Amino acid sequence: MKVQILVSISLFLILGVNGQDKIIDSILPNKKTKFNYKPLIIPTVLIGYGLIGIESDGLKLYNTEIREELSENIYDKFTIDNVSQYAPFVSVYALNALGIKGKNNFKDRTIILGSA
């Protein structure tokens, strides 16, 4: 074990000495890259809102009011959304029963359905 460590360190030192002195960017050799901060604005605002919202009573109240407004108009009656979640896998079996063959056989389809 000690011999392997010594060999690794010596190879690292030998190969490190023979490396390039200057790192050259082959894609943009003459152009300095600038840090683009624009993609960080929205995540920073959302993370900041979340951190402030942990302790701020005003934000907690605001979030509670929004949650209540969204939940007061939810109907318990039967809607298309209740059925549409099952439509994809029912259609696969129905199409196979009608004679339209799919990419997978019955066993593979059932395994895929179980894993989904």
E strands present in 1-116? none
Backbone angles phi, psi at 104, to 5 degrees: -110, 155
Averaged over 75-97, what is the pLDDT?
Answer: 82
C-beta separation of 63 from 71 below 8 A: no
In a domain, 8, yes or no: no
Residue that wins the pLDDT comparison between 73 and 43: 43
Range of the domain at 59: 36-74
In a domain, 2, yes or no: no
Provide the pLDDT for residue 18: 52
How many CA atoms lie within 13 Å of 58's alpha carbon, on the beta-carbon side? Answer: 2
Q: How many domains does the chain have?
A: 2
pTM for the complete prediction?
0.36
C-beta separation of 49 from 59 below 8 A: yes
pLDDT tens, position by position, 21-37: 555 656 655 666 788 88
C-beta separation of 93 from 99 below 8 A: no
